[in-house]
Structure 1
Amino acid sequence: MLTLGSLFDGIGVFPLAARRQGIVPLWASEIEKAPISITKRHFPDMEHLGDITQLHGGEVPPVDIITFGSPCQNLSSAGRREGLGGAKSSLFFQAVRMIEEMRDATGSQFPTIVIWENVMGALLSGDRLDFRAVLQSLTDAEIPMPASGRWASAGMVRGGGRDLCWRLLDAQHWADPRLARRQRVFVVADLGGRRAGAILFKPRRLFPLPAPCGDFGLSPAGADRISAVEAGGPLPVVHPFQGYRMRGAAKAGDVGNFLGSFGKPTDPFPTLMAGGLTVFALWREGREAEGVITWLTPTEGERAMGLPDGWTAYGCDGRPVSARARQKALGNSIALPCAEYIMAGVKEELEGGIKYSDT
Structure 2
Amino acid sequence: MVGLFAGIGGLELGLAAHGWNTELLCEIDAGARAVLSARFPDVEVHQDVTRLRALPAGTELVAAGFPCQDLSQAGRTAGITGARSGLVDEVFRLVRRRRGPRWLLIENVPFMLQLGRGQAMRHITAALENLGYMWAYRVVDARAFGLPQRRLRVLMLASRTEDPRPVLFGTDAGPRETGDPALDPCGFYWTEGVRGLGWAVNAVPTLKGGSGLGIASPPAVRLPSGEIVTPGIVDAERLQGFSRDWTAPALAAPGVRAGHRWKLVGNAVSVRMATWAAGRLADPSGEEIPGEQDPLTGQRWPTAAWGRAGKAYRVPVSTWPIHEPYEDLRWFLEDAQLLSARATAGFLRRAGRGTLRFPPGFLADMQNHLLRMGGYPQEAA
Shared fold, TM over 0.5: yes
Partner residue of 1:124 out of 110, 114, 125: 114
In structure 1, the partner of 2:274 is 339
In structure 1, the partner of 2:150 is 181
SS of the residue 2:31 aligns to: helix
Instruction: Write the mapping of 1:207-286 to structure 2, written as runs, cut at 5 A.
Output: 238-243=185-190, 245-246=192-193, 248-249=194-195, 261=197, 263=199, 266-275=201-210, 276-282=216-222, 285=225
Q: Give how far 1:268 is off.
A: 1.9
Q: Give how far 1:282 is off.
A: 4.1
SS of the residue 2:93 aligns to: helix
Q: Is the 8 A contact 1:70 1:91 kept in 2?
A: yes
In structure 1, the partner of 2:61 is 65
1:36-71 CA distances to partner (integer Å, 9 max, x unpaired)? 11111111111112200111226x444100010111
Equivalent-residue separation in structure 2 for 1:204 and 1:337 (angstroms):
16
Q: Is the 8 A contact 1:41 1:316 kept in 2?
A: no
TM-score normalised by structure 2 residue count: 0.65
In structure 2, the partner of 1:29 is 26
In structure 1, the partner of 2:170 is 202
In structure 1, the partner of 2:94 is 98
Q: Is the 8 A contact 2:80 2:119 kept in 1?
A: no
Q: Give how far 1:328 is off.
A: 0.8
SS of the residue 1:24 aligns to: coil
Letter in 2 for 1:314: P
Change (3 A) 1:284 1:119: closer
Letter in 1 for 2:160: L
Equivalent-residue separation in structure 1 for 2:165 and 2:189 (angstroms):
35
Q: Is the 8 A contact 1:168 1:184 kept in 2?
A: yes
Structure 2, unaligned stretches of length 5 or more? 174-182, 211-215, 285-381
In structure 2, the partner of 1:51 is 48
Instruction: Write the mapping of 1:133-172 to structure 2, written as runs, cut at 5 A.
Output: 133-140=123-130, 160=132, 162-172=133-143
Equivalent-residue separation in structure 1 for 2:38 and 2:150 (angstroms):
28
**Identity across the alignment (%):** 25
Q: Give how far 1:80 is off.
A: 2.2
Structure 1, unaligned stretches of length 5 or more? 103-107, 142-159, 206-235, 250-256, 350-359
Equivalent-residue separation in structure 2 for 1:190 and 1:278 (angstroms):
37
TM-score normalised by structure 1 residue count: 0.69
Equivalent-residue separation in structure 2 for 1:41 and 1:316 (angstroms):
12
Q: Give how far 1:202 is off.
A: 2.4
Runs (4 or more) in structure 1 with deviation over 6 Å come to 316-319
Change (3 A) 1:283 1:23: closer
Equivalent-residue separation in structure 2 for 1:318 and 1:139 (angstroms):
40
Change (3 A) 1:262 1:19: closer
Equivalent-residue separation in structure 1 for 2:219 and 2:142 (angstroms):
18
Equivalent-residue separation in structure 1 for 2:87 and 2:143 (angstroms):
28
